Structure 1
Amino acid sequence: MKKKRTLIYTILLGSSLLLCPLHTKAQGQKPAATDEKEEIPFYQGTSVGVDIAGIGSKLLGSDITSAEVSVEVNLKNRFMPVVEIGYGQTDTTDDETNIHYKAAAPYFRIGMNYNVMFKKPHLPGFVAVGLRYGFTSFSYDVDALDMVDPTWGNITVPFAYNGVKTNVSWVEAMVGFRTRVYKSFSMGWSVRYRARISMKKTENTEPWYIPGFGKNNSTNIGLTYNLIYKLPF
């Protein structure tokens, strides 16, 4: 499963790097540099993006799938407030422990991107760094084979918890790349470092997967690959 997910990320990353030089070549002669003293309008447009990395990983056999839409506002070609709303789910059984886990829920993130190449608005793309705050509230099911306690006369102890409620919050630091491919259409990818802030725990169990965050660890690494459309206003 891990090898398959690594494969799709490699393919998506490679495609963006290949398209970048092709697009640059198609631009022809480089336009004259913009006068740095020229005032850049405050509002530079709104873009809507769809992340296809989560859907693609499921097609390649991953136990986890997600769908996500983002809305980003460009201010001065420098500051870019962004909201990301998605839905993540899993339904899987561990081959070694036979523990079955199921969860599905929406999640959201809110944050800001910063265009480190804001002084070069004539370029077809940019590199950005950013921060996010993420949150999800969901319930999950976890069950396994019944356990036998030999101390008390081989008593069978069931292991099944359904509808366990929890909520999780986290922060993300990201670095991303974007390039225009055709008119108002762009594509881009980002690498996310996620750190869990809080998680509501129960006495007997905790979630294996957290929608929008990934597998339940104190930290996590994620990747997004977005198809982006700049709205015509």
Structure 2
Amino acid sequence: MQQTIISIIKSCLVGMLFCSVSFAQNDSIPLNNKLKDSIKQKEKYGLRVGGDASKLIRSFVDDDYKGFEINGDFRFTKKWYLAAEFGIEEKKTTTDYIAVTSSGTYIKLGADYNAYQNWYGMNNLLYGGFRVAASNFSQELNGYGVYSQNQYWAPQFTSTESIDYSGLNAVWAEFITGLKVEVLTNLFLGVNVQFKYIITQSEPDNFENLYIPGYNKTYDSGSFGFGYGYNISYLIPIFKKAK
């Protein structure tokens, strides 16, 4: 009888132990999931806005140039960013035979791909991208000279009459590469270089565009151009995603 009672007690203890282990395992499942979620690496997604510091600096040190640019990008996947730039420029170009002031606005739209693999907590970019760009501008002819091979019989003719050619436009494709480094929380410094190809442009009568706002200097009727920029920007975080 005593052995029977002991056997019953042992069975009850084993059953209670099994139940307690089972409940403990069930309780640990959500805790483990919460722990895993808490240690997942999350990255910032948002709108980064800024400007081209090189254009502002050049406006102060170069009497023949005035301009500024605002730019921004928005991260929509892990590696891809939508990007845009808008600017205003005025540039005086003077050669031995012509003096022209180019002024107007431009806009660029495109995307960037970040090839840099960040460590946890870093948001740096080493990127390449493309833009489709357009500019509306005018060319003011401030003066010009007509070259004469025989300076004795037909001296070179010069004119200081100002002629304004407005309503001009240009469209080009642009490939860009650069980097952006987070120097303080959400504050970035960057540098980039641009390779440009003119698709179409309208020109004034009797001379070619020497400078196109946003495109920069043109090269002897060629379709290729180059540019650069130094940017400062601030990231406005909107949401975070797991890495």
TM over 0.5: yes
Is the partner of 1:59 in helix, strand or coil? helix
More helix by share: 2
Q: Decide whether the 8 Å contact of 1:147 with 1:159 is kept in 2.
A: no
How far apart, in 1, do the equivalents of 2:147 and 2:107 lie? 41
How far apart, in 2, do the equivalents of 1:171 and 1:145 lie? 31
How big is the shift at 1:145?
4.6
* 1:224 aligned to which of 222, 229, 236: 229
Partner in structure 1 of residue 50 of structure 2:
49
How far apart, in 2, do the equivalents of 1:131 and 1:115 lie? 12
* 1:170 aligned to which of 172, 180, 183: 172
- Identity among equivalent positions (%) equals 21
- Residue type at the aligned position of 1:108: I
TM-score (norm 2): 0.69
Structure of higher CA gyration radius: 2
Partner in structure 2 of residue 190 of structure 1:
192
Partner in structure 1 of residue 75 of structure 2:
74
How far apart, in 2, do the equivalents of 1:215 and 1:65 lie? 14
What is the Cα-based RMSD across aligned positions, in Å? Answer: 3.0
How big is the shift at 1:101?
1.0
How big is the shift at 1:232?
4.3
- Residue type at the aligned position of 1:128: Y
- Listed as ranges, the gaps of 5+ residues in structure 2 are 1-39, 239-243
Is the partner of 1:206 in helix, strand or coil? coil
How big is the shift at 1:61?
2.9
Distance 1:120 1:131, change over 3 A: farther
How big is the shift at 1:107?
0.5
Count of residues paired in the alignment:
193
Partner in structure 1 of residue 103 of structure 2:
104
Aligned ranges 1:57-206 → 2 under 5 Å:
57-61=58-62, 63-94=64-95, 97-117=96-116, 120=119, 122-145=121-144, 147=146, 158=159, 160=161, 162-165=163-166, 166-206=168-208
How far apart, in 1, do the equivalents of 2:177 and 2:147 lie? 49
Q: Decide whether the 8 Å contact of 1:88 with 1:106 is kept in 2.
A: yes
Partner in structure 1 of residue 13 of structure 2:
none
Distance 1:85 1:148, change over 3 A: closer
How big is the shift at 1:203?
3.8
TM-score (norm 1): 0.71
What is the CA deviation profile of residues 41-82 of structure 1, one whole-angstrom value per residue up to 9, with x for unaligned ones?
Answer: 8x8111101111112223333633421001210122311001
